[in-house]
Amino acid sequence: MTSALSTRPTRLSRLVLVPTVLACAALLAACGGGDGDKKPATQVAAKVNSGEISVHQVNQVLQRQPGLKPEQVQAVSRRVLDGLVDQELAIQQATEQKLDRDPRVVSAIEAAKRDIIARAYADKIAESVSAPTPEEVKAYYDSKPELFSKRRIYALQEFNIEANAEQKAALQSKIPGLRNGEELASALKNAGIRFGARAVTQAPENIPMGALAELAKMGEGQWLVKAGPAGLSAVFVAGAKPAPVTEEAAKKAIEQFLLTDRKRTLVSDSIKKLRESAKIEYVGTFANAAPVPAEAASAAAEVTPTVAPTAPASDALDAATLQKGLGLK
């Protein structure tokens, strides 16, 4: 069983590598290689008909490659450059055919431009956020024992059951008394009730916090049953193996989570203030639409992206998994 304490590359390792990777790529593409090469330096990586591809373009793509190692730079750089060459050829043909003037293309370019500018604003606002203090990190660690000090790896049997109101009521009273998933499956088959089932092993950081809070209170052999519009979801806890994470191991992940959450909140508050002070008039069919609650309107109208983490999390847990939590699908 694979624990969340994995050895996969963290964002920190990727960020540490980026400067090295870019420096190597610039040297390889711009200078042409070793000390004996006397060719003059250039910022052009390739010439394609009347167009050019710069070293900067190659470096931009390299920077988005996760886990790229220095020894891989030369081979990856050439593959990246070949891809940019193909892209340039397509662009040249599209321009020749005046596809760049197609209304759909112009609209897409404008939408991308707006998104990039909005992201730049979000990043600028987020720069002022201060890092969490050690006391705040400790407080978060202590507030989430199900993620850290009392963390467990769960072996679950999940059921999605199609049922009407009468069947749901009967099953909700029956399921908690069943000894395992096999008994439920047998009962559903005998009753002619449609269902889907699977057995999974889940770490707590992959479970939604709401469900995790309930699972954390449960022992092996217990059921978590939830009613939905179309039926029931039932989860049997077949196993719950302790796998605690120390405060020291989780420190970087918590720091990044808190920092990212602060950035998101600051950007959201900034947009909210801008909406409050702006003159916004809905017209046409939107003028007669029912008003949306402020919280929902803010979420729906948010044009700024979630401010992505820029620092490493932890070899044990990362900021993304801490936020994402775990979904029982």
**Element holding 47 (H helix, E strand):** strand 44-48
pLDDT score at 290? 67
Average pLDDT of span 63-91: 90
Q: List the structure tokens of 284.
A: 């046409």
pLDDT score at 174? 95
DSSP lists the bridge partners of residue 159 as 197, 234
pLDDT score at 287? 86
Residue with the larger pLDDT of the pair 209 and 46 = 46
Q: List the structure tokens of 329.
A: 């699908």
pLDDT score at 210? 84
Question: Can you tell me which residue has the tokens 């729906």?
Answer: 300
The confidence band for 85, taking pLDDT boundaries of 50, 70 and 90, is very high
Helices (H), 42-179: 55-63, 73-96, 103-126, 134-143, 165-174
pLDDT score at 66? 78
pLDDT score at 58? 93
- Cβ contacts of 172 within 8 Å, gap of 6 or more: 225, 227, 232
pLDDT score at 307? 29
Q: Above 90 in pLDDT, residue 233?
A: yes
* Radius of gyration, CA atoms only, the chain: 27
Q: Could you read off the pLDDT of 264-293 as tens digits, one per residue?
A: 999 999 999 999 999 999 998 888 876 665
**Phi and psi angles of residue 223, each rounded to the nearest 5 degrees, phi first:** -115, 145
Question: Under a CB-based contact definition with an 8 Å cutoff, are residues 42 and 30 in contact?
Answer: yes
Distances (CA, A) of 313 to 12, 69, 259, 309, 310: 7, 19, 11, 9, 9
Cα separation, 256 vs 206, in Å, equals 17
Average pLDDT of span 124-143: 95
Cα separation, 123 vs 268, in Å, equals 12
Average pLDDT of span 73-84: 92
Mean pLDDT of the chain: 80
The confidence band for 67, taking pLDDT boundaries of 50, 70 and 90, is confident
| Burial class of 173 by CB neighbour count within 10 A (0 to 12, 13 to 18, 19+) | exposed
Q: Above 60 in pLDDT, residue 154?
A: yes
Average pLDDT of span 51-71: 89
Contacts 24+ apart (CB under 8 A), 106-112: none
Q: List the structure tokens of 3.
A: 């624990």
The mean-pLDDT minimum among 109-113, 260-264, 308-312 falls in: 308-312
| Burial class of 127 by CB neighbour count within 10 A (0 to 12, 13 to 18, 19+) | exposed
Percentage of the residues of the chain whose pLDDT score is greater than 90: 65
Average pLDDT of span 20-35: 44
Cα separation, 229 vs 4, in Å, equals 33
Q: At what angle do helices 73-96 and 11-26 cross, to 10 degrees?
A: 70
Q: Could you read off the pLDDT of 98-121 as tens digits, one per residue?
A: 999 999 999 999 999 999 999 999
Distances (CA, A) of 247 to 134, 155, 203, 244, 286: 11, 25, 17, 10, 50
Cα separation, 27 vs 321, in Å, equals 36
Residue with the larger pLDDT of the pair 325 and 35 = 35
pLDDT score at 320? 52
Percentage of the residues of the chain whose pLDDT score is greater than 70: 75
The confidence band for 68, taking pLDDT boundaries of 50, 70 and 90, is confident
Average pLDDT of span 88-101: 96
